[in-house]
Structure formats: C-alpha cells, structure tokens
Amino acid sequence: MGLLVRVGESIDAITNMIRSAQSDLSQRDRAAALVCALAQSGGLLFSAFVLAAILLTFCCFPIGSACCVLGYRVLSRQAAKRRQRAKAVDKLLRVADKRGVFASVPQDAEPPTLSEKKE
C-alpha cells in the first residue's frame, strides 16, 4: 500500500513542479508549489529507485535460473544416475543378445548400447 502512495506522491511532485512554472499564480502560490514539489520528490526518487531495481532484477533472472538448474542437477546427481541407467541397459542388452532375442540382427554386428557416444 505504501508503494502506491509513493507513486502517487511522485505524480503530485511532477504536477507541482509544472504548476510552479505557471504565470497566472502569485509568487506565494508558486513558492508553495515548488516547496511542495521538493517535499514530494522523495516519492519520485523512490519510484525511480524501485523501477531501476526491478529492471536489474529482471536482467538477472536468466543467470539466476541457470545457476539454480545447475545446482539442482549437481545436487540430485542426475549425470551419475544417467550413466548408471545406461550401464544397466547395456547389461540387459548383452543378456538379451546371449539369449538370442536379437534374431533379426546379423551375427557379426555388435549389439546396440546406450553408453557409447554417437559420432
């Protein structure tokens, strides 16, 4: 709620600065508008600071997201689990090859493996 009040205060500061330049006002009214604009300029500065902070935060989201994903992958040890799974599948394929499950594969061909890198 205070943020909305500060934004409104910054709008009032700008309005009072514009109002202080009007020629139909007396010297006293111009001075009052100028003093009021200076007093309310804190809202203007606060709004500018918050806007800059929000934009900076939005710029850092991809970097922070990448760090979080990398941290999750390291902590959950996904690479090790993938290697372990590939080895288990390779073992299963070797056992299936010995039992003759791959009857349609020529005998001189190597049984397929998951852990070998494709070139």
Q: Classify residue 58: in a domain, yes or no.
A: yes
pLDDT tens string 55-64? 988 888 888 8
Decide if 115 is inside a domain: no
Q: How far apart are CA 43 and CA 97, in angstroms?
A: 76
Instruction: Identify whether 50 is part of a domain.
Output: yes
Q: Is residue 9 part of a domain?
A: yes
- pLDDT tens by residue, the chain, 119 residues: 666 677 777 788 888 888 888 778 888 888 888 888 888 777 777 778 888 898 988 888 888 899 988 888 888 887 788 888 889 988 888 888 787 766 565 566 666 666 665 54
Average pLDDT, the chain: 79
pLDDT in tens, 5-23: 777 777 888 888 888 887 7
Asked whether residue 16 is assigned to any structural domain, the reply reads yes
82 is written with which tokens? 């993938």
How many separate domains does the chain show?
1
pTM higher than 0.75: no
Say what the pLDDT of residue 1 is.
Answer: 60
- The DSSP result for the chain, as a single string, is -HHHHHHHHHHHHHHHHHHHT-TTS-HHHHHHHHHHHHHHHHHHHHHHHHHHHHHHHHHHHHHHHHHHHHHHHHHHTHHHHHHHHHHHHHHHHHHHHHTT--TTS-TTSPPP-SSSPP-
Q: Is residue 108 part of a domain?
A: no
What domain range includes position 22? 2-98
